[in-house]
Structures are given as C-alpha cells and as structure tokens.
A and B are shown apart, each in its own frame.
Chain A
Amino acid sequence: MIARHHMAGAGASRPRGCCLPLPGAAAARRATMPALVVALAALAAASVAPAAQAPVAEAPIPYYYLIAAPADVAAVDHPNDNGGTIVITWTPSVNDTPDGGIVTGYVIRRARAVTGPYEDVGRTTARTGRYIDSSAETGVPFFYRVDAVAGDVSSQADPVGPVVSAYQWFNWDRLNLAVLGVLLSGAVLWWVNALKRGRTANVRRIPALEAVSEAVGRATEMGRPILFVPGLQDMDDMQTVAAITILGRVASITAEYDARLEVPTTRSLVMTAARDAVQRACLGAGRPDAYNPESIYYVTNEQFGYVAAINGVICRERPATCLYFGAFFAESLILSETGRSVGAVQIAGTAETAQVPFFLAACDYVLIGEEFYAASAYLSGDPRQLGSLKGQDVGKVFAAAAIVLGCLLATAASLSGSRTLETLAGAVRAVFRAQ
C-alpha cells in the first residue's frame, strides 16, 4: 500500500489524522481504506456561520477530505493491432460521482519496474475508466499505476503489471470485412472470367455516357474545344484513377472526331498520368498527331486558384462540352454554372455524394455514385470490364438481401421481444460493421 499526504490549502493548523471528511468519504474509507489519502482541504466552515449567531469569533475549523483510489485497475495488451498499445481500465473512485464528486480526473503512470520510477503517460477527465497508452514499446514489460486526482490531492491505486505489448498477425475485429471482400472480389473475378469465356451480359443504358459521343461530335461541329476536369485529388484517390480511365476513352473518341481536348489538372502526377492516357488513346485511334501535350497542363494545387483558372478557360475558350469526372468539393457548382453560362453541354460524375445535387442542378447529365465507376467499363465495351459490373451487381443483391433480412429481424424482435431474434438482427448488423 502506498499512501501520500498532500497539503491542499493554507492555514492547516490541526495535526494530521484529525479529519472531518466530506460527504461520501466514510463510504470511501470503508470501500478502499488501504488506498485512502488524507488531505487538508480548507478553512471555510467558520466563515459561513452568521455573525449574529456567533458573537464570539471561533477559530476556523479545518476540513480534511479523503479520496478513494480507483479500484480494479487492469492493464492488457491492445488486441488486433501492430503492438505498441496497452489498454488500462479501472473502476472510478467512489468519490468520482456526477453529484458532488470531488475527483477531477485520473493520471496514468508507467514504469519499467514495479518500484518505479513512474512517469506520467496520460490523463483523463473524471468519470472515465479507460485509457489507451499508444506510446508503449513493443515487447517491453511495463507496470501501470492510476491516480485519482482532486486539485492538488491525489490517491493512487496499487500498480499492476507487468504487461507486454505485442503485435498480432490477424485483426479478428475485421474478419467480417475480409470475408465480404473475398466474396465480392470472387464474384467480380468470376464474372470477368465468365464474360471472357463468351457468356453474355446485359448492361443497362447509361444516358450520360451515351451522351459523351454526342457531346464530342457537337464540339467538333462547333469548332470549339472539349474541357475535361479530372477533379481535385491526386492519383492516390480512386476517383482520380477512375477519371483518368474515362479520360482515356474520351480522348479516343475525341481523336476519332478530330476535336480539341483541354485538360487542366490540379496535381502534377495527374497531369503526367493524363498525358500518358491521352497519348495512348490517340495512338489507339490511329491519330497520333491528335495528341498535344500542351493541352494537358498543370495549374495549381490550390482549390480556388484552380477554379479561377478553369473559369477563365471556360470564359475565354467557350468550350462546347465540359466533362467533370473525379473528386469535387465546393467548386462543383461554380464550375458547372460557369460552363452553363457559355452554353456548354455538361456531363459530370463523382462519388462525392454532397456534390451530386449541385451537378444535377447545373449539368445536363450526371453519373451518380457507382455509375461513375462503371463509366470506364461501359465506354470500353470490353467484356472483361463489363464482367466487373456484373460482379458489382452480386454485391448489390447481397447488400439488399441483408438490409431486408436485418429490417425484418429487427422489427420482429422489437414486436415480440424475442432475445433470439434480437441476437440474429445483431449478427446481420455485425456483418457490415466496420472497426
């Protein structure tokens, strides 16, 4: 047992051990007497006595108060991680209550030996019972101590340990994601192979993509350029990768029609990838001369600088067609409204759900969500790529079935109060839970 005494106020004149505990302290002493800390608190009692009832000034009566240390302290290695993390839990001090609790927080201390020295690794507020120490070294044994704190006063629980942080080879919390990923990937690959072997698939019409050829033709007839904006993100964003694949298809049609394509980018890597894609598309279309690297250029990484530059291009060049594919944010409406003001045919596609309504309001055609990712396969007409769309459909059927089943089970559990149905509904939810 370790007990420490702290002076908590001025004017402490009584000898130690003579105490008038605050409410709740008696219970605290009973509960965790070995860890009690006695402290001098204040000299306030005399000051609250009305002067009329105390004609003779009494000596101030000091208050002492007790803080119970936190109980049931435990430290364990954080499961399913790469090591370096230890979880410390405890039962809050009995003086840590919402009404009149005096504990203000907890300090978590750590040492390599049970005798110390202990160093502070973190603090929590009152009424918490968990702390994650992410600074532990993997493979090193540590001892932990949790101190309840009330102002300058603290009381400490017995140290626990040793506990060693280790890495795990599999994150079992994400088993559901792994299983879902394998199933969906399997479905996609199965359909890709099936269509490669000659199986046919019916892919529904996507008017926005059918309009691409029409829009390119219009630009050719009008002698005006086509503006392709690949969004604001870099090549590490899947939307940008999808946008570049669409650009390749668009460039192929553009080369065939002999139209002029302009691609301002906000990232240098996107510019490089876009140049490669367009060059290859022009070669594929038998028009290598149609490739002009100058028309694919870097503008700036700054969001609104990019917007200003594109707006300038739209106002000066007056493109006949504006294509917005990729990740867009606040600029979506500014760009599409400017394009609309010059009478351009506009087609947009993004996976940013918050921007879809803006594009819908200002563009002629919009690819919503999955349609955007399907665009490349749709435009290519390649059976292998169309197979990936069928694989997606398997995922959609599975998701829809799980939603319907989950709703039915949850409703039935709610109406009947059956624990079994509730457990089953929870199991369906757990399949899609992300950790």
Chain B
Amino acid sequence: MQRAVPFAITFVTAWVLLWAVVVPPIDQIREEFVLFFDILAAFAFLLGGASLLGRHGRKIRRRARGWGYSAACLGAFLLTLGLGLLKVGGEGGLAGSVTAEGSALGWIYEYVFGPCDASLISLLAFYVASASFRAFRVRNTEATVMLVTAFIVLLGRTFLGGVATDWLPEQLAPLKIPNLVQWIMSVPVTAGNRAIMIGIALGIISTSLKVMLGIDRTYLGEDA
C-alpha cells in the first residue's frame, strides 16, 4: 500500500500530462496538477525546515566539529523567519506585504543576501580561469583542436579579432576571424548541440516510460 498508492498517483498523473499535449481539454487538468504540486512543495517546506533545525540542532548539542557554523546558520534562519513572519518594519504591520518597502526582510535580502549571492557567483571568474587552464593544455589531438577553436572564438569576440584579419581580400572573407567564429558557432557547435539534444529527448522519453509503467521505481524507494 505504501508503494502502490504513490505509484498509482504517478501513473495517472503521468498519463494525464502526456495526453494533455494532444488533447486540449485535458490541458486544464494539467494546470490543476501543476498547482497541486506547488501546494505539495509548499507543505514540504515544513519537512525541509524540520530537517534543517534537527541537523544543526544536533550538531550544536553535541558540540560536533564545526558547530559554530551550525549556530550561525540556525541563528540566521530563525532571525529571517521571525522577521518575515512578523513583517517587521514594513507598512501595514501584520496586514501588510512581506516585501513592503522598509521591511526588515527586504533589508536583509538587499544588504545581506544579495551581496553574499553576488560574492559567490563572482568566484566563478576565478574558477573559469583555473578550469580553462587545465582544459586547454595541449595533451592530445582533441585538446589541441579545442584549444585552437577556443582561441579563435575568444579572439573573435573581441575588437582585436575584427582588426587582425581585416586586411584579408574579399575572396578570403570566410577566413576573417569574425566570419570563422560565426561558422564555428552555427555549424559544428550547433550540430554537436543538436546531437546531444536529440539524445536527451530520447532519454527523457525512455526514462518517462520506465517511470510511468513502473519498470523503474527506484525514485519511490523501491527496487524494479
């Protein structure tokens, strides 16, 4: 029963969603299902919150390694939750909007969360540099082709790329770097991308069928 009911729900929902693609009246039911999922996901926040509190609470209680981070995490979580629930600072008090101007939650979002987010994504620049250094090392033929291609594309995206081959006569126009970049992006890159996309589409169909027909029930915590 514990497995049969979730599988029955999966089976019915999947078939309805599938038919909604070609049977327009079912599309409305599909929208209802999507709404139900959102409601379910909202309730699941409670599970997530409980997991967060339990995990970090235990670490603090046991004074486990790194418990200070857990304390900071829980403190920030409870503070943000409290300020958001009580709608501190915003116009209209508890009857107002949680994102009202001047609210404490808005302040946290703008001056704490936003900068932290930006700092993390800015790390990407350094990681791109280190990963590129490794990826573009000339080790074999494939790596060499990739290095040359990447060099042309990078050069073509700059002002220098246009200037460097501007002197070429019109007969050799395809060899001008901006034209080469255009060709690389629209022919080999697009072809490779489409090949991967076709594989992904077939993979999704196959995996969906396995899930819908119960051939693979691992996602329900059950062996096939």
Contact = CB atoms under 8 A, between A and B. Distances in A.
A268 B48 contact: yes
A268 B205 contact: no
Nearest to A303: B117
Given A268-B48, A358-B131, A396-B198, A171 B22 contact: yes
Interface stretch (A104-112, A147-155, A208-216, A238-246): A238-246
A361 B135 contact: yes
A389 B44 CA distance: 34
Interface stretch (B85-93, B168-176, B211-219): B211-219
Secondary structure dominating the interface of A: helix
A194 to B, nearest CB: 14
Given A373-B200, A396-B199, A244 B219 contact: yes
Nearest to B58: A294
Interface stretch (B94-102, B120-128, B157-165): B120-128
Contacts of A333: 124, 127-128, 131
Given A82-B28, A273-B221, A330 B121 contact: yes
Contact of A312 (B46, B69, B210): B69
Interface residue range, chain B: 35 or more
Given A178-B22, A353-B193, A356-B196, A269 B40 contact: yes
B159 to A, nearest CB: 25
Interface string A150-177: 0000000000000000011111001101
B210 A385 contact: yes
A25 B222 CA distance: 76
Secondary structure dominating the interface of B: helix
Interface residue range, chain A: 35 or more
Interface string B13-43: 0000010011111011000001001001100
Interface stretch (A66-74, A364-372, A416-424): A364-372
Interface stretch (A52-60, A218-226, A274-282): A274-282
Interface string A373-395: 11011001010110011011001
Contacts of B52: 297-300
Contact of B223 (A280, A294, A362): A280
A234 B134 CA distance: 33
B203 to A, nearest CB: 3
Given A177-B22, A271-B47, A276 B203 contact: no
B198 A238 contact: no
Contacts of B44: 267-269, 272
Contacts of B61: none
A385 B41 contact: no
B206 A389 contact: yes
B63 interface: no
Given A248-B218, A298-B47, A337 B206 contact: no
Contacts of A23: none
17 contacts: A171-B21, A185-B209, A188-B205, A188-B209, A241-B219, A248-B219, A248-B221, A268-B48, A269-B41, A280-B218, A298-B49, A305-B117, A330-B121, A337-B127, A369-B197, A384-B224, A385-B224
Interface of B: 18, 21-25, 27-28, 34, 37, 40-41, 44-49, 51-52, 54-55, 58, 65-66, 69, 113, 116-117, 120-121, 123-124, 127-128, 130-132, 134-135, 193, 196-200, 202-211, 213, 215-216, 218-224
Interface of A: 80-83, 167-171, 174-175, 177-178, 181, 184-185, 188-189, 192, 234-236, 238, 241-242, 244-245, 247-249, 267-269, 271-273, 275-277, 279-281, 284, 294, 297-302, 304-305, 307-308, 312, 316, 330, 333-334, 337, 351, 353, 356-358, 360-362, 368-374, 376-377, 380, 382, 384-385, 388-389, 391-392, 395-396, 399
